[in-house]
Every structure is written in structure tokens, then in C-alpha cells.
Amino acid sequence: MQFYYGDQNYLRVLDEVEFWKRQEAEHTTVIQEVVSNLDAATINQLKKFELKFNQTEQKAVQLIETVVRSQGQINQSMTQYIMEFTRYAIQESEQFVQFLNDLLTRPQLAKDLVGKVVVNHIIRESEYFIGIAQTIMYQC
């Protein structure tokens, strides 16, 4: 956490989005390095996720900077935009989790115990982000 949030949970949720999207982008690289024999389509999909995560992280940074510059005085329209953006970030993570769950059923991971452990760990981390972001949104 970078800030004391007080009643500014929208800033906290943006901080979480920034952190976890960076993690998810890094996780796409970890999977490519750890899981052996990934096919070209899977590698391509992981790279697409990485690009999307990096874009979402950068958008979160921009929104954080906007909120900080406004000294917390943001209007209802901006608050609504932040909530919509957060819902998008959650959906993005849900899609990643679904992709990873599908990956676990593929032959590439049938005998790759380390790969399974790593992918399951990454799934849990993305699910953690989903849970924390939803909780913060309900508090806004």
C-alpha cells in the first residue's frame, strides 16, 4: 500500500489494481519459463494477457495520479469511472483464472508437477486480487 486511505477507498482499489496487474503480467512470463512444452497458441494467449495487464496497470497509475492531484476532491462521474474500471480489472483477472484453469487440464501439465504448483499458486493470487477488489468496491 502506498497511501493512507481514510474514506478514500476508491484510491485504495486503484492501488490494488496497479499492484496486482503488475503481478499478473509477471506471472505470464513465469508460466512461459516454468511450464515446459507450451504450444504456440498458449504462448500467444499469455502474451496477450501480459499486454492487457500492462495496459490496465498503466491506466490505474494514471487514475491514481489524477486522484492525488485533485487532493481527493473528485466528482461523482470520476468515482463512477473508477468503479467501472475496477470492474473491468476484475473481469480481466477472472478471464485469466479461467484460462489458467483450462491450462491445468492440458497434456503439457499432465506430468509437470512444478508447473501445476506454479499455475495453481498464480490462480490463488489472482483470486485474492478479485476478492480484495470486490470487497473494497462494496465499501465505496
- According to DSSP, residue 105 is labeled T
Q: How far apart are CA 25 and CA 77, in angstroms?
A: 29
Listed residue (80, 82, 88, 64) closest to 5, CA to CA: 64
Decide yes or no: CATH 2.102.10.10 for domain 9-139: no
Radius of gyration of the chain (CA): 17
- The string of pLDDT tens digits covering residues 72-89 is 688 889 999 999 999 999
Query: Could you give the count of Cα atoms lying within 13 Å of 62 in the half-sphere of its Cβ?
Result: 10
Could you tell me the residue ranges of all domains in the chain? 9-139
Is a pLDDT exceeding 90 seen at residue 136? no
Is a pLDDT exceeding 90 seen at residue 1? no
At residue 108, what is the residue type? Answer: Q
- Exposed, middle or buried, 70 (CB in 10 Å: 0-12/13-18/19+)? exposed
What own/partner pairs with CB < 8 Å and gap ≥ 24 does 76-81 have? 79/10, 79/140
The confidence band for 5, taking pLDDT boundaries of 50, 70 and 90, is low
- The string of pLDDT tens digits covering residues 43-70 is 999 999 999 999 999 999 999 999 989 8
Is residue 122 a contact partner of residue 27, using CB atoms and an 8 Å limit? yes
Angle between helices 9-34 and 76-104 (to 10 degrees): 20
